[in-house]
Amino acid sequence: MSTLPSLDELLTTARVVALPLATRFRGIDVREAMLIEGPNGWTEFSPFTEYGDAEASVWLAGAVDFGWADAAPARRGEVRVNATVPAVAADAVAGVLARFDGCRTAKIKVAEPGQALADDIARVAAVRAALGPEGRIRVDANGAWNVDEAEHAIHALAEFDLEYAEQPCASIDELAELRARVKYMGIPIAADESVRKADDPLRVARAGAADILIVKAQPLGGVHRALEIVAQAGLPAVVSSALDTSIGLSMGTALAAALPDHDYDCGLGTSALFTSDVCDPALSPRGGELRVGRVSPSAERLDALQVSPERDGWWRERLSRCHAILSASDR
């Protein structure tokens, strides 16, 4: 991480916004984020509200990296991205996919609390029908299945030609066991939470628990730290978002553009899930791609999307606590 700026420097330009979602996603209808202008441009601090300060401080390190550190060299000017399909009913799939212009790949949320495997099968079938046989389909369970449930579900979904299954189980040991069980199906296992929420993000690779890493710039401490993790893991990586604003998505494109390989479409098209974003236009897919480069928020959008004074104060206090954690770790 670059030298930590002072708390006052961060707070002076900080703006807190709330972006409404077109469809409920990850259990929320509105996504809050703090945007900060650094010497290299705008950056984002947006750990989910339920995360504790220790975890959130890593996101702050990621925000500082993007706003204050020198940019990682870009290897490409555009990155291909996937559509993201929340746990909607099958008849709502076409409407969701229509928001993602030209995307050939779809990541589908499965294992939603209160739903059954039959709902997942119907949703995935609808996506396959919409994308056709050439489309790429990946599913994401967010660690909600145990090993037996995951094996059963992957077997049931295999007919739809899955590109990979993302975080089907919560623990690294479970992922390793599941990977051994489903190897004969030829469906790779990808790890997300086992990388970004782990004290040791490389353990999943050492344990042989995944074929692919899902990497997110802000939760891993920034673009430079994420690049180090990918290099040390020695596994293919898919860059994804954490339901970021367009500012955070530009951080993700910087990471994706700096990776040596670009075999998998990135999960960075998620601005299409919002009804309004901080940039005008939003950093959203065009022909299935995002351009690489910094973006700036619109002053009018910042004003229109600003949170209440109470929520603004909550985020500023959170930033202060996370800054104290990073300051202590630098000593």
* Residue 261 CB coordination number (10 Å): 9
* Strand-pair category, 28-38 with 41-45: antiparallel
Amino acid letter, residue 219: P
Q: Do 283 and 246 meet the contact criterion of CB atoms below 8 Å apart?
A: yes
Calpha distance 212→230 (Å, rounded): 10
Q: Is 109 one of the catalytic residues?
A: yes
- Which residues neighbour 107 within 8 Å (Cβ) at sequence distance 6 or greater? 82, 83, 84, 85, 138, 139, 140, 166, 267
Q: List for the chain the helix, strand, coil content (%; round to 5).
A: 40, 20, 35
Answer yes or no: is 37 a known binding residue. Answer: no
Amino acid letter, residue 280: D
- Which residues neighbour 81 within 8 Å (Cβ) at sequence distance 6 or greater? 100, 103, 105, 265, 266, 267, 268, 269, 285, 288, 289, 290
DSSP letters spanning 39-61:
TTEEEEE---TTS-HHHHHHHHH
Q: Which of 107, 109, 183, 197 is catalytic?
A: 109
Q: Which of 107, 183, 197, 216 is catalytic?
A: 216
Answer yes or no: is 140 a known binding residue. Answer: yes
Half-sphere exposure of 40 (CA within 13 A, CB side): 20
Answer yes or no: is 310 a known binding residue. Answer: no
Q: Which helix (H) or strand (E) holds 203?
A: helix 203-206
Taking the mean position of all CA atoms in its chain, how far away is CA 287? Answer: 20
- Which residues neighbour 209 within 8 Å (Cβ) at sequence distance 6 or greater? 172, 173, 175, 176, 179, 189, 191, 194
- Widest distance between CA atoms in the chain: 56
Helix 53-68 / helix 246-258 crossing angle, nearest 10 deg: 70
Which amino acids are annotated catalytic?
A: 109, 216
Residues placed in the known binding site = 140, 166, 192
Residues placed in the known binding site for Mg(2+) = 140, 166, 192
